[in-house]
Amino acid sequence: MAADEANATDARTAPLAPLPDHRDVNMPWWQELWRRHAHITTPLRQRGLECDIEFGLSAYIVRVSLPDDSYLIISPPQEPPSQRPPGDPEGWIATREHPDDQTLFEVLYDSAPSDDPGARQRPEAHHGGSAQPVIDAIDHRLAHLGLLPHPALPHESPHMHPAQPKPPPQAREIPGTPDRGPAYVYGDALRALTDRLNGAESHADAAALLHQILEPTDGLLAQLGEFFEAAGEKAKEAEQDDGFDLSYDLADAAAEIRTLREDLHMAEDRMRALTPHMPTPQLPSTPARAPSLPPRALPPAPPRHTR
């Protein structure tokens, strides 16, 4: 029992840092930019760091507020500008700056390719536009500076939310083939995730489970789209008419799954923002023979303070 309670505690994390507080948050164009940068913003928000999307010199950037009033700028190449779509650059550049101290400027990470053939490439240049290495570098530097509100635990991957589904203790076996081991292990894993969602104690816990499904790079829907796309390519290898027809059907399925994930890209934040319904307090019942009286007005609820 104690071990189960410890595991349940480990599965919970501090809530994501809040969304930016400006009117653009409700605009479809901004929400699309936010979705395209979720693989950068979500790991940082898990660490309690507030993020925003702004336009830099020539491309959109991620601005990250730090506890000491300094900030990070995480951007694609700006000069010359990146020719790739927002959120998928050829490299990332992360710098730390301070609005009131112009002497504070440091480059935490730079994987942008150089146009100068004689220039010495930084060690991280071979990572290109991968997000995990830049998150790792930010983690390392901010932890050294003591600027991580919620440091990642040593066993946590920077892109994996701690609330991960656990395999079921006993998977079902194919009837008549006891020696072949468990079957439907992936369906059983998802069933276990659904059971955890049904038993979630808060909307924050439910949002953490939604993260497992909707995370734009490693989430279940993203990987399911990749699966159907790969299945379509495998069908083409038959070089038969039905194989090509099947590949088109599977490609359509992959596209629909990706569209579904994009339509639900704000569901995790919306779930986390929900608060449980508080039941209205009931007045004590009067004795059966007591004369009927007009109902008394309930006292006004105290104002709720938001942070």
User: How many other C-beta atoms can be found within 10 angstroms of the C-beta atom of residue 120?
Assistant: 7
The yes-or-no verdict on residue 147 having pLDDT over 90 is yes
The arithmetic mean of pLDDT across residues 288-297, rounded, is 49
Q: What percent of the chain has pLDDT over 70?
A: 73
Given pLDDT bands bounded at 50, 70 and 90, which one contains residue 236? confident
pLDDT tens, residue by residue, 70-111 = 999 999 988 777 778 888 898 999 999 999 988 999 999 999
Q: Which long-range contacts (CB under 8 A, 24 or more apart) does 189-198 make?
A: 189/165, 190/165, 190/220, 192/165, 192/166, 192/167, 192/168, 193/165, 196/163, 196/165
User: pLDDT value at position 244?
Assistant: 78
The interaxial angle of helices 38-46 and 131-145, nearest 10 deg, is 30
Tell me which residue has tokens 């290109």: 128
Q: Is-contact 185 232, C-beta < 8 A? A: no
Q: Which of 265, 269, 258 is nearest to 45 (CA)?
A: 269
Q: Which long-range contacts (CB under 8 A, 24 or more apart) does 250-258 make?
A: 253/228, 254/225, 254/226, 254/227, 254/228, 254/229, 255/225, 257/221, 257/224, 257/225, 257/228, 258/221, 258/222, 258/225
User: pLDDT value at position 291?
Assistant: 46
* pTM, two decimal places: 0.48
Residue 130, amino acid: S
Tokens standing for residue 171: 């998977």
pLDDT tens, residue by residue, 160-190 = 343 344 444 444 444 444 444 456 778 878 8
pLDDT tens, residue by residue, 24-69 = 998 999 999 999 999 999 999 999 999 999 998 888 999 999 999 9
The whole-angstrom distance between residue 55's C-alpha and the CA centroid of its chain comes to: 22
